[in-house]
Amino acid sequence: MIGVLEKFKALAVDDAPGQEGRQAAVDLSSIRRGDPLPGRPVDFSHGDVDAHPPLPEAQAAFAAGLAAGGSQAYTEYRGALSIRDEVADHLADFTGASVDAVDGLLLTPGTQGALFLAIAATVGSGDKVAIVQPDYFANRKLTAFFGGQMSPVPLEYLPDGPDAGLDLWALRAAFENGAKVFLFSNPNNPTGVVYSASEIASIARLATEFGVTVIADQLYSRLQYSGQTFTHLRSAGMPAEQIVTIMGPSKTESLSGYRLGVAFGASDIIARMEQLQAIVSLRAAGYNQAVLRTWFNEPDGWMAARVTAHEAIRDDLLRVFRGAGFATRIPQAGSYLFPTLPDLAVDLRSFVRFLREQAGVVVTPGTEFGPHPNSIRLNYSQDHLAAVAAAQRIVQMVDRYRA
């Protein structure tokens, strides 16, 4: 079983969001400083769906799916066609390029499910995969699991400016060196930056030139802040058979508890993803699929109100962190913030643990996203006042543990 154990080494989840409860007890008393900081606990490792609840209509849509009975329980592996029809229309409108409901769209158990299947369907053992640093931690883990080799592409995200900061020369170099797949999130997780139209055009051009398949994780692309423009790679002129886009209603729409996602684009890749889904989980839970009928179908003003609420939290947290001198890019979409902390007297892992134990604040260490040992990621889709108070406790804790 050596081979299997080796493969799983890259998948450790103890530091992953939500798994803190399973960490082994370690005695850190010799480096602990100060007393507990009072305040309402905030778990920034994921959004708070109680503070930003899902659309009430979701429950009714689920009930309708359940009432439909067997036909909704046992759909095609890629999901019920009538639901795919509706979703395809919305996605075409949103992304500016047509979506084939029959052959070019797959419903999955969450956006994570879509990402897993897309990487499995495109990355073979020894294949080179271009991956942005920093980017969503599962990208690296999935690539490693399928035997792919990561070609890192830096994102110089810290300077606010018109571009996200993708190192296009490094991207070209990765493609020249044989990368078969390019995998990136837009808006970027963990920084919240959005790739500019010019960057997206460059990615499309390079992917076309080198025949690279691109997996674009656009999970957060609906939550765009005021004045933001968003360019969808799939409408940027690259060959349709080279791109799969991934989205889902888990974040902005707070529907994570239903585990729903979609992958759309290249029909050959979608077909392989369905083949694999048939043995991974059969399908997105049948009744849950019906909840997708509420997606892109929210009442007028619902999404605008959600954006406004998150923009206000973003602005307050930026004030707290920038006021303390932590270099932080302004998130342009989504609800992630990725401040850089000053040098600390303890390692990041211990500091993150002290944040949890002493300040009641859960964050995700930057090392989960790449070589970022001074950064922490916050999902600020939280109760507004609690989030601001928790950010202030983070600043206090940094002061306490400063090198």
Range 208-227, binding its own copies (CB under 8 A): 213
C-alpha neighbours within 13 Å on the C-beta side of residue 352: 25
CA distance 174 to 131: 9
According to DSSP, the β-strands at 361-362 and 376-379 are: unpaired
- Asked if 237 touches its own copies (CB under 8 A), the answer is no
Interface of this chain with its own copies, residues 246 to 265, rule: CB under 8 A? 256-259
Task: Give the list of residues 6+ apart from residue 123 with CB closer than 8 angstroms, or none.
Answer: 129, 142, 143, 146, 147, 148, 180, 181
Nearer to its own copies, 110 or 190 (CB): 110
- Asked if 24 touches its own copies (CB under 8 A), the answer is no
* Among residues 286, 331, 360, 366, the one that binds its own copies under rule CB under 8 A: 286
Tell which residue, 150, 151, 146, 85, has the closest CA to residue 121.
146
Binding span for its own copies by CB under 8 A among 279-287, 302-310, 325-333, 338-346: 279-287
Cis peptide before 187 (omega within 30 of 0): yes
Tell which residue, 254, 397, 220, has the closest CA to residue 321.
397
* Among residues 80, 83, 92, 112, the one that binds its own copies under rule CB under 8 A: 112
Residue type, 373: P
* Among residues 44, 116, 326, 351, the one that binds its own copies under rule CB under 8 A: 116
- Asked if 123 touches its own copies (CB under 8 A), the answer is yes
- Asked if 56 touches its own copies (CB under 8 A), the answer is no
User: Starting at the edge strand that comes first in sequence, how are the strands of the sheet with 376-379 ordered?
Assistant: 336-337, 376-379, 364-365
- Asked if 279 touches its own copies (CB under 8 A), the answer is yes
Binding span for its own copies by CB under 8 A among 71-79, 187-195, 226-234, 327-335: 71-79
* Among residues 64, 90, 100, 141, the one that binds its own copies under rule CB under 8 A: 141
CA distance 325 to 188: 23
CA distance 161 to 171: 20
Interface of this chain with its own copies, residues 380 to 399, rule: CB under 8 A? none
Q: Radius of gyration (Cα) for the chain, nearest Å? A: 21
* Among residues 288, 328, 364, 375, the one that binds its own copies under rule CB under 8 A: 288
* Among residues 145, 152, 158, 350, the one that binds its own copies under rule CB under 8 A: 145
Contact present, 246 and 115 (Cβ < 8 Å): yes
* Among residues 55, 91, 92, 109, the one that binds its own copies under rule CB under 8 A: 109
Nearer to its own copies, 148 or 165 (CB): 148
Nearer to its own copies, 1 or 403 (CB): 1
Secondary structure element (H or E) that encloses residue 4, with its range: helix 2-9
Secondary structure element (H or E) that encloses residue 379, with its range: strand 376-379
The count of residues interacting with its own copies (CB under 8 A) is: 72
Tell which residue, 310, 327, 318, has the closest CA to residue 157.
327
Interface of this chain with its own copies, residues 29 to 48, rule: CB under 8 A? 46, 48
- Asked if 240 touches its own copies (CB under 8 A), the answer is no
- Asked if 25 touches its own copies (CB under 8 A), the answer is no
- Asked if 179 touches its own copies (CB under 8 A), the answer is no
